[in-house]
Chain A
Amino acid sequence: MIEMKHVSFRYDAGKEILHDISFAVAKGESVGLIGANGAGKSTIMKLLSGILSGEGETLICGTPVSRDNLPEVRRKLGYVLQDSDDQMFMPTVYEDMIFAPRNYGLSKEETEKKVDAVLEQLDLTELKHSRNHKISGGEKRMAAIATILTMEPEVILMDEPTASLDPYNRRLVINTIRALPQTKLITSHDLDMILDTCSRVILIDGGTIIADGRAEEILADKELLEAHRMELPLSLTRRQQ
């Protein structure tokens, strides 16, 4: 569903940000992309969504991510941005939710059905007509996920989905992510969340893949994590103590 083959990227003539990145994510798989600040996580997400283009081949559901294919790729892809304020650019939750379906040519009735179904799925029905600037950070994050789900994407990319959320809303978002059947690639520094939601983890540093394997194994490898400016997830730290 997600594939990168020998992908490299640099900004103009600057330093190489990503070097020879290759990995594949199978249908229904949930993969965590971890790494310290500046490791290249966000660049990978931007390459996958076609915001940036680099050398090598990037495929989403078998379609190459290229300028010509962008509408087709983006139809299959939902990208939950780190900053929900950027994602919720319309005045109300409802207007944001209908944005994608209407752009993709769905009728008013079909859109309405989809919006109601997603809101019910995420238990957000009460937020339907709320003003975006009036809802809390947690609600906004959930609403941002809802705006993506109305597109019925096959692949979901999430950039720091639990960043700056309180424990209650963090747990809510984690449970929501776990319940989503789509193929997911999640970047985060919240390794406990990654452990909770992903079966596989890719660790990157300095623009290259350092490790790719089972989440329980990589996230329990203290030496590996510390060598790449990361720490054990809190839940595993307690267990090891």
Chain B
Amino acid sequence: MSRIDQALTEFREMDELADLDSPVHRFPASVKLLLTVLYIMTVLSFDKYNLSGLFLMILFPLFFFQLSGIPVSKCFYKLRYVLPLVMAVGILNPLFDRTPLLQLGSLTVSGGWISMLTLMMKGVFSLMASFLLVASSGISAICAALRRMHVPSVIVTLLLLTYRYITLMGEEVSVMTNAYHLRAPEQKGIEYSAWGSFLGQLLLRSMDRADDIYQAMLLRGYDGRFHYVEEKRAGWKQWLTGLLIAALIVLCRYYNVTELLGRLFVR
């Protein structure tokens, strides 16, 4: 299988993950969406030196990954190209921030190292939460939830169609690269000299297919508004559960639970 085909399969696998059945999957997408936004905002709001407080926040995605039946490893595997970028965000911090912050025996840990770690953790935790939301809800349910929250239709439609057209473009790339390699078996990739025409053809083919799909939509009454599959409305029990989780997230933000737990054992 070519790398493009593999990427497409992995992309589609996200939809398949959303078809699993678990308490997390059954939870209304709108509540999950709100909780994810709250979680990410909370994680991002932690002080750059608050490593112990932030560390506890990993429990939320870990718990819900476990509950959903989606392996955490799947998340890291699928995000393998993004994670290094996220990790690289604070890589220069140790050079600029040399304030001693922690003494581990003879080793002095500067603020730069701590802030680098917190930045990395913030990025990774946010990605984990976002991944879990998409993998346990599916794009259609998320779009429906966004519409229910009165996010403008244009933005939501754009999101849905972008998601759809990514696979479409991927399919075109796959067809073209396969056709190329069948006639250039000795080459490992696509020769630089062919890049221009390859990209040009890809653009034309993608536009052509996008137009065909748009016509198919028009033929079935599309007037600019998407009618999403209506998810089950969240009942009071689900809202209450959501509120409890939200309260826990906020609690972890304002009380350093790891520190409190530590004090139980160390005086």
Interface residues, chain A, with chain B CB atoms under 8 Å away: 49, 51, 70-71, 74-75, 77, 79, 81, 83, 85-87, 89-92, 94-95, 98-100, 102-104, 108, 129, 131, 133, 147-148, 151
Shortest C-beta distance, B21 to chain A (Å), equals 12
Q: Which 7 A-B pairs have the closest CB atoms?
A: A103-B221, A102-B227, A100-B220, A86-B212, A89-B213, A79-B219, A104-B221
The residue from A79, A89, A104, A131 contacting B12, defined by CB atoms under 8 A apart: A131
Closest approach, in angstroms, between the C-beta of A97 and any C-beta of chain B?
10
B218 at the interface (CB under 8 A from A): yes
Q: Which of A75, A83, A86, A131 contacts B221 (CB 8 A)?
A: A75
The interface residues of chain A, by DSSP majority, are classed as helix
With A131-B19, A133-B12 known as contacts, the answer to whether A74 contacts B227 (CB < 8 A) is no
- Cα A102 to Cα B171 with chains together (Å): 28
Q: Determine the residue in chain B with the shortest Cβ distance to A73.
A: B219
Report B-chain residues with C-beta under 8 Å of the C-beta of A147. 220
Most buried by B among A108, A133, A147: A133
Show 17 residue pairs from A and B whose CB-CB distance is below 8 angstroms, ordered by the A residue. A51-B219, A71-B223, A75-B221, A79-B216, A81-B212, A83-B212, A86-B209, A86-B213, A86-B216, A89-B164, A91-B139, A92-B140, A99-B217, A99-B220, A103-B221, A103-B227, A133-B12
In the bound complex, CA of A99 to CA of B219 (Å): 11
Tell me whether B69 is interfacial, beta carbon within 8 Å: no
Contact of B223 among A95, A103, A108, A131 (CB under 8 A): A103
CB distance from A89 to the nearest CB of B (A): 5
Q: Which residues of A contact B223 (CB under 8 A)?
A: 71, 103
A91 to B144, CA, bound (A): 14
Using Cβ atoms and an 8 Å threshold, which residues of chain A touch B139?
Answer: 91
Within 8 A of A (CB), among B210-258: 212-213, 215-223, 225, 227, 229-230
Chain A positions within 8 Å of B209 at CB level: 86
Size class of the B contact interface (CB-based, 8 Å): 20 to 34
Q: B138-152 vs A: 1/0 string, CB under 8 Å?
A: 111000000000000
Question: B16 in the interface, Cβ–Cβ < 8 Å?
Answer: yes
- Inside 8 A of B219's CB, which chain A residues have their CB? 49, 51, 74, 77, 79
Looking at the complex, which one of A81, A95, A102 makes contact with B216 (CB distance below 8 Å)?
A81
* List of A residues within 8 angstroms of B221 by Cβ: 71, 74-75, 99-100, 103-104, 151
Instruction: Establish whether residues B15 and A89, one from each chain, have CB atoms under 8 Å apart when the complex forms.
Output: no
A91 B227 Cβ-Cβ under 8 A: no
Given the complex of chains A and B, what is the CA–CA distance between A13 and B216 in angstroms? Answer: 27
**Across the two chains, which residue of chain B brings its CB closest to A133?**
B12
A-chain residues with CB within 8 Å of residue B15 when the two chains form the complex: 91, 131
Contacts of A75 in B (CB 8 A): 221
Taking CB atoms, residues of chain B closer than 8 Å to A108 are: 230
A231 to B218 alpha-carbon distance, docked (Å) = 36
Kindly provide the distance from the CB of B139 to the nearest chain A CB, expressed in whole angstroms: 7
- In the complex, the answer to whether B216 meets A89 with C-beta atoms within 8 Å is yes
